[in-house]
A and B are shown apart, each in its own frame.
Chain A
Amino acid sequence: MNMRQALGTVCQCAKLARKINCQRLEGERFYGHSASRVLNSLRQMGFFESMISRGTYHQNIRHNSYTTMEEMTPEEKACKFQRPIAQTTIDEEEVSKFSALSALWWDEGGEFEALHSLNELRVPLIRDALVSKKTLEEYNIARPLDGFWILDIGSGGGILSEPLSRLGASVIGVDASEENIKIAQAHLIHDHAIRERVKYVNTTVEEIAKTQAGKFDAVVASEVLEHVADANMLVSSACQLVKPGGSVFFTTINKTRIAYVAGVLLAENVLRLLAPGTHDWEKFVAPKDLSYMLDKNQCVTRLLHGMFYNPLTKRWSWTKDTSINYAIHAIKAESSDQQNVWTTTAEQRKQESKD
């Protein structure tokens, strides 16, 4: 947690205290709400993760191991920090602890309302793109995605993973936050119909790309790209993970002035759709940049659509205008030797300059 974020927490707490004193709003509702706010903003900052990593650090000391995570070689890390892959046998205590948090993620009128309603656009987008690869005999109307393996990058509470698995797909959700993984599992465990088709894994895309390259029919990174430090890395990992001929989906925010006004100022500070500090304009990616990155990784953009969120009806709709939110669907080239013009020329140039 850096200084700015810590300062932000303090400010928020002070603000809340002031609110409570001045307005004297009655009822648990308000307190519950403010508590959830604080909890959520802490989570947004990775407070819980830092607690978790501190926990593991202490464990290491207890085990007389003094190497910190940064000093370890990848092999050592793999040995020390190998976690059980999917914690299916969560103990009851864990479930009750995380079910409160999972209620937060899964409250359709709450903090993540916009993500829930985004399913109305993104699930059909993924479904229709994948279904078109099936023959009529293979098509099962109740489970159209039967037989497909989908990787959900940044699965969070599982808001997208669960619907995809309900359509028949086998879904691996990866999230770098262990807490999110547990939240998602605490929610999934109740749904007998799908809990055997979804696995949540606490890892990063880079790591999973090392072992599972070319295994997935589709890789989805929805509302993730605008949060990562290295967009290039995420895109190239995603493209590695998908099968030749498979699909890569991204939904994210454009890097335009209006996106800053709508996605940061309005959404976070005025309408309070998101917790302040959720988005950083610097990290936003323009569609043509994303398309270029995909191109470099042998993925051809098939479709680019704008998405518009109406805060009054609280529903999303497709639009031609990609200046705020957009979705992109790219297809990986069937064989890897079909090198793209861009990359070849770039590499040639590099070689020439070396020579």
Chain B
Amino acid sequence: MALRWSAVVARRKSLIKPVHKQFFGTSRPVKNGEFADIVISGGGMVGAAMACALANNALLRDKRIVLLEAGKDTGEFVVPDQFSNRTCALNPATVRLLSSFGSWQEIEGMRCFSALRMQVWESCADAMITFNNSDMSEPLAYIVENDVILAAIMQALKSKKDRVEIRYDTKATAFDLPGSGDSEEAKMPYVKLTLNDRSVLKTKLLIGADGTNSDVRKASGFHTINKDYDQSGVVATLMLGEGVSNTTAWQRFLPTGPIALLPISDTMSSLVWSTTKEQAKNLQALSAESFVDAVNDALWHDREKNAIAGRLLDGFKNVLNSVLPADGEGVRQLPPTVIDVVQNSRASFPLGLTHSSQYVRPRIALIGDAAHRIHPLAGQGVNLGFSDVACLNDMLTKAVSCGADPGALTHLLQYETERQRHNVPVMLTIDSLQRLYSTELTPVVIARSLGLHAVHSLPFLKKFIMERASV
């Protein structure tokens, strides 16, 4: 700060009062369009949760927050009798976030089911791993339908109507970012959004929660890593045969991709089957009976067993057993038998990996799928998104308590650093798991089955993995 104390300008009268008058005299209405402090683009699960978290943040109560949603207002949500085919496994961290603004209580009032145990195994060898909290007291994850999650968040959001303005049928069609180009708008230090009704909205911070094909990300020009797995995820709601209790999440790795069953009621499970695109097409075209047979076959068949890997694994198990006696927990359970598929519950969607190298730039932040999309095999996608919400909310709290502009880069960068430190290792792990299990090559099968069994037998490693997956 260069200060020159020699340049003297004198001033005799009172300073403050005339200043005030002058200021009040010139406060003119906002030119060209409205102004909001924070705009969230995209009212999906993550975007709505962001809006809800901000609405409940006491430090932001003077700020004007707008949520833009391209879809229509669906009105009052009534839980349908039929289960939706799209479900999520919510981890404890997500439950904590949703509880903080009352949405979790709403979900419990509607419909959710807890998975106490998880079993992962594969088709090429006998190795398997199980996860559960001690005594099966605490659920590993809650399986909730996407519609229910969204409705619960929207309900909590609507109770905060005075804090967040929700605009349905609204989408930004053009973005003018500060410091890009020479236009008159570029000199404006804020983000200017042109909406589909041609109105203009200016904001200090634009949060992009507009999904994998994020327009905010494209407008920001972030470098993005894209990978197509050349796979499709087939989803369906399955009816299970008589069993003890349906509290286990099952996942079996097949060379074509993992198949997973998530419990959603005592007799029903939600299917997520990642497989080749052709097989996905066939599965959707099959009759209900043939589809059920295909699912049962995928869960039970033995024809891909690798004899060498099997023998080596048996030897390894014996060695380990003599060192670490089995504690009785983590015994292999048999997967359930599927007896029927709910009508019209079958659907498929393409699988891919997307990661934006940057999540922020001045006045822009990406959250959820707009920043990262991963393979559904560990059920982590939406949980990462909700963790973004919690982290960005914390960073904004910090920024605002220091009087900083909410769009100031200093704090946004801290959000980016913290999230990438968590998200990137998770993405790498899941991507390498996907690669590891997509082959039938004998040495790989041996290595992965011995490795999996080793992890299964070492409680501290297992605990570490569970902790990583729950934050």
Contacts and interface: CB of A to CB of B under 8 A. Distances in A.
B31 to A, nearest CB: 11
B403 A190 contact: no
Interface in A165-212: 165-167, 172, 175-178, 180, 187, 190-193, 195-196, 199, 201-204, 206-208, 211-212
Interface stretch (A117-125, A253-261, A322-330): A117-125
A163 B403 contact: yes
B137 interface: no
Given A196-B27, A211-B13, A176 B60 contact: no
A85 B23 CA distance: 11
Nearest to B412: A108
A286 interface: no
A13 interface: no
A142 B403 contact: no
Given A123-B402, A154-B1, A211 B14 contact: yes
A314 B210 CA distance: 32
Nearest to A205: B5
A78 B404 contact: no
Interface stretch (A23-31, A221-229, A263-271, A340-348): A221-229
A204 B335 CA distance: 81
Contact of A176 (B5, B24, B362): B5
Contacts of A93: none
Secondary structure class of chain B's binding surface, majority of residues: loop
Contacts of B13: 211
Contacts of A143: 62
A195 B23 contact: yes
Most buried by A among B12, B15, B179, B401: B15
B30 to A, nearest CB: 7
B11 A167 contact: no
A82 interface: yes
Nearest to A115: B1
A36 interface: no
Contacts of B22: 84-86, 88-89
B8 interface: yes
A83 interface: yes
Given A83-B9, A211-B12, A119 B402 contact: yes
Interface in B34-58: 35, 37, 58
B363 to A, nearest CB: 11
Contacts of A196: 23-24, 27
Contact of A49 (B7, B403, B410): B7
A141 B3 CA distance: 34
Interface string A60-90: 0000000001000010011001111110110
B14 A120 contact: no
Interface in A106-142: 106, 108-109, 115-117, 119-120, 123-124, 127, 141-142
Interface string A142-176: 11000001000010100000111111000010011
Contacts of A46: 2, 4
Interface residues of B, number: 47
A165 B62 CA distance: 13
Interface string B426-441: 0000000000000000
A309 to B, nearest CB: 14
A44 interface: yes
A177 B4 contact: yes
B409 interface: yes
A211 B7 contact: no
A81 B9 contact: yes
A212 B27 CA distance: 26
Interface stretch (B96-104, B182-190, B243-251, B372-380): B182-190
A207 B11 contact: yes
Contact of B3 (A78, A86, A142, A154): A154
A99 interface: yes
Given A142-B59, A190-B190, A199 B19 contact: yes
A305 interface: no
B273 to A, nearest CB: 45
A269 B189 CA distance: 32
Contact of B60 (A142, A156, A224): A142
A14 interface: no
A78 B11 contact: yes
B408 interface: yes
A49 B59 contact: no
B11 A49 contact: no
Contacts of A187: 189
Contacts of B404: 119, 123, 163, 166
B16 A172 contact: yes
B403 A176 contact: no
B7 A53 contact: yes
A43 interface: yes
Contacts of B179: 103
A99 B187 contact: yes
A243 B61 CA distance: 31
B11 A208 contact: yes
Interface string B405-419: 100111000000000
Nearest to B23: A196
A141 B59 contact: yes
B181 interface: no
Contact of A89 (B4, B26, B60): B26
A224 B52 CA distance: 42
A85 B187 CA distance: 26
B328 interface: no
A86 B37 CA distance: 26
A202 B58 CA distance: 36
A89 B21 CA distance: 12
B403 A166 contact: yes
A296 to B, nearest CB: 20
A200 to B, nearest CB: 10
Given A175-B3, A215-B16, A227-B1, A120 B8 contact: no
Interface string B260-278: 0000000000000000000
Nearest to B22: A88
A85 B19 contact: yes
B59 A202 contact: no
Contacts of B26: 88-89
Contacts of B59: 141-142
A96 interface: yes
Interface of B: 1-16, 18-19, 22-27, 30, 35, 37, 58-62, 179, 187-190, 362, 400-405, 408-410
11 contacts: A77-B10, A86-B22, A103-B179, A123-B404, A127-B403, A142-B58, A142-B62, A176-B3, A190-B188, A193-B62, A228-B5
Given A78-B11, A85-B18, 4 more contacts: A120-B402, A123-B404, A156-B1, A178-B7
